[in-house]
């Protein structure tokens, strides 16, 4: 009886942990795609609107605790949030 309880508890714990990891991976994939798209838009047209969108996407990326920056050409999302001054760009 005790072994069945331990097995069921372990199975529930494993499934719950796996689902949380999968959810985090999806959130990071979405945030990465949004960041890549806004980075491309900003590179095409460096306006304050595109800059604000880029900062928002970078902030969302960081708030989801995502860490893989290989798809952004080595650009650090923290730098975008902290150092990019959108106010000096044209509208």
Residue 12 has pLDDT above 70, yes or no: no
Query: Measured between alpha carbons, how far is 62 from 66 in angstroms, rounded to an integer?
Result: 6
pLDDT of residue 30: 87
pLDDT of residue 57: 93
Task: Give the global pTM.
Answer: 0.71
**33-61 pLDDT, tens per residue?**
899 899 999 999 999 999 999 999 999 99
Contact 51, 32 (CB under 8 A): no
Higher pLDDT: 37 or 11? It is 37
**58-83 pLDDT, tens per residue?**
999 999 888 776 666 677 888 888 88
| Domains of the chain, residue spans | 2-88
């Amino acid at each position: 009886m005790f072994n069945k309880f331990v097995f069921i508890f372990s199975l529930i714990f494993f499934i719950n942990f796996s689902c949380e990891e999968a959810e985090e991976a999806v959130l990071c994939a979405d945030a990465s795609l949004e960041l890549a798209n806004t980075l491309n838009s900003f590179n095409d047209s460096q306006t304050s609107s595109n800059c604000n969108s880029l900062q928002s996407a970078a902030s969302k990326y960081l708030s989801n605790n995502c860490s893989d920056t290989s798809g952004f050409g080595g650009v650090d999302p923290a730098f975008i949030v902290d150092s990019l001054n959108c106010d000096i760009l044209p509208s």
